Structure 1
Amino acid sequence: MALTLRLTAGQDAQLTEMAARENRSKNEIVAIAIEERAVRLDRSQRSRAAFDRVLERDAEALDLLSQ
């Protein structure tokens, strides 16, 4: 699938530098960045869900500890 990506001159320079440093194409760098971001978002959502479960399950204990 084709995609046109509009970058500022600075962003393009950064992307070019990263691609050269890693000996990859710009396309590969962008694809890796998307994958890494998706993993971080998923991890963040799972962490938030776990935190919410703990808050709900241990609400009384947490309240007692806060006093």
Structure 2
Amino acid sequence: MPKGEVLPDENLLESALTEFKEETGKTIEGKFIELSPVQQKSGKKSMPGLWKVMSKCQIFKAIPS
């Protein structure tokens, strides 16, 4: 999962899209739905800035065995 530091005045989704492109070399488009932070069993909360999206972006190439 691509992740990076976000400055206080930055838009979280725009930063996430930039980070995704930097780490994968791909752009992704679609309807982004922001996910609510969840509390893990350890008590730690997930970070804000998580989205789900349906897209036809192929990140990995299948390698025949």
Fold similarity call, TM over 0.5: no
Bigger strand fraction? 2
Higher helix fraction (1 or 2): 1
Q: Give the shorter-chain TM-score range.
A: under 0.3
Q: TM-score, normalised by structure 1?
A: 0.24
Q: Which has the higher contact order (CA 8 A, sep 6+)?
A: 2
